[in-house]
Amino acid sequence: MKDNSTGKRKNEKLWGGRFADSSSPITEEISASIQFDSRMYRQDIKGSIAHAEMLNKMGILNDEELKKIVNGLDEIREEIEKGKFLFSRSLEDIHMNIESRLTEKIGETGKKLHTARSRNDQVALDMRLYLRDEISLIKELLKSLIVLLVKLAEKNIDAVMPGYTHLQVAQPVRFSHHMLAYAWKFIRDMKRLDHAAEACSLLPLGAGALAGVNYPADREFVKKRLDFREINLNSMDAVSDRDFILDFLYFASVLGMHLSRFCEEIVLWSSAEFGFISLAHNVTTGSSIMPQKRNPDIAELVRGKTGRLYGNLFSLLTVMKGLPMTYNRDLQEDKEPLFDSIDTVILSLEGMNEMLKGMKINKDRMKKAIYRNFSTATDIADYLAQKGVPFRDSHEIVGSIVRYCEEENVDFFNLKTETLKSFSLFFDNDIEDIIDPARSTERKISQGSTSTDSIKDQIFLIKSRLQI
Ligand code: ARG
């Protein structure tokens, strides 16, 4: 959209009546939000049309006037979309820019639109409508990410890799289980997103400036017309509430934290040392000095962007803190954090989706990593325990085998049964089955474990839950 925010249209301020002097330049500069709130123009127009229809129903606007207003607003939408609208900074925000243009276009009738309405309930409405629209888009992107994870899990169900605690090899897990661990986190994020959407669907319009309006505004009509679930029944709460934005910013922060953990692993796994995955060329970048480099920049940037998502949440929490009832101009500071978090979430999800689409899994490298690092030591301890050795003792025995391997620089998987027997007489030839990492995953028979069956159950559950 063309930004003409410093351009001036010949106008008087819509609130100019009681002022002897015009605003000083700094007052205009500090008051203006048009440079960032112009993006809500569609929602502002939609809300105004619903409001005008309600005024018509109440007999405040006749049919002719309503028609003029609706046509005028439709034309303004077009002007904005074609880049022909001249935004004026002295008109402060999107609400007054549109209203002033309407009057310029259709004359006196335009001035009736603001009957039974204040910018305080208007902006509270627009923000909800705007966020609601963006939430639908974000939900689709989040869903695509989960679908990609499920596909990766289905396709690579045979891949076994080291599972880590403390970033030290712990036990073998299936790569699919690892992917689904993230899928479940993102499913919870989706719930948080739904919660934010729900918070958006409480209608503030009709609250007026703070106390209600001197007209029997048909709020039920506006609620239905704009597809809200409920009416906010306290006008003071309606104009002072920004919880719905905080809910979204919290969702965005937690999502950012999850994405950043995932990205951290992508960065690690794509390194030469791990080599568990390779990223496609079109999602990596080169170095200006080191010709050999191929860097996982998307993963790093998504990880880095989490900082601004947290920042935006804290920024608005701090703006809100200590604000007396009801509307205070501080509330205008709700927009940039929200818009930035929306943009950041969309960009990050698009980046993640693109990166995962072309990601290759190097099963051999994963396998080597499990064979190198005693990943089935716990299985061996359980093996002895099942033969009657108390678990604490079997833990001790296996620990000393590991120490022996390290000291003698021998591979655990190549130890002869005879050598093992010198640690415990309970060792037998069936130990081969126990130390096999893939079979180790299958012995995890508890619900929610890393076995193939459990993974298949999870995939089924996620698919039915998301209807994919
Ligand atoms: N641009 C303003 C905002 O974002 C609109 C509401 C202005 N209300 C007022 N009483 N000055 O908050």
CB within 8 Å of 120: residues ≥ 6 apart: 207, 208, 209, 210, 239, 326, 327
* Cα–ligand 1 centroid distance for 12 (angstroms): 17
Q: Which residues pair with 360 in a beta bridge?
A: 278
Closest residue by Cα to atom 7, ligand 1, is 119
Residue-level pLDDT at 14: 77
Nearest CA to ligand 1 atom 2: 332
Ligand 1 midpoint to CA 350 (Å):
33
d(CA 198, CA 281): 40
Verdict on whether the full-model pTM lies above 0.85: yes
Q: How far is the CA of 359 from the centre of ligand 1 (A)?
A: 47
Catalytic pick among 166, 288, 446, 464: 166
Where do the domains of the chain lie, and which CATH numbers do they carry?
A: 2-115 (1.10.275.10), 120-199+235-368 (1.20.200.10), 369-466 (1.10.40.30)
Distance from residue 123's CA to the centre of ligand 1 (Å): 7
Q: How confident is the model at residue 291 (pLDDT cuts 50, 70, 90)?
A: confident
Distance CA 371, CA 18 (A): 81
23-34 tens-digit pLDDT: 899 999 999 999
User: CA separation (Å) from 331 to 132, 242, 334, 406, 417?
Assistant: 19, 8, 6, 63, 73
Tell me the pLDDT tens digit for each residue of 237-275.
Answer: 999 999 999 999 999 999 999 999 999 999 999 999 999
By most ligand atoms within 8 Å of CB, the mutation choice from 23, 93, 96, 100 for ligand 1 is 93
Q: Which residues pair with 168 in a beta bridge?
A: 165
CB 263 within 8 A of CB 302: yes
* 3-state SS, one letter per residue, for 195-246: HHHHHHCEECCCCCCCCCCCCCCCHHHHHHHCCCCEECCCHHHHHHCCHHHH
Kindly state the tokens that stand for 104: 């310029």
State pLDDT tens for residues 206-229: 999 999 999 999 999 999 999 999
Closest CA to 49 of 87, 15, 79, 75: 75
Q: 10 pLDDT band (50/70/90 cuts)?
A: very low
Tell me, letter by letter, the H, E, C secondary structure of 64-105: HHHHHHHHHHHHHHHHHHCCCCCCCHHHCCHHHHHHHHHHHH
Asked about 166 being catalytic, the answer comes back as: yes
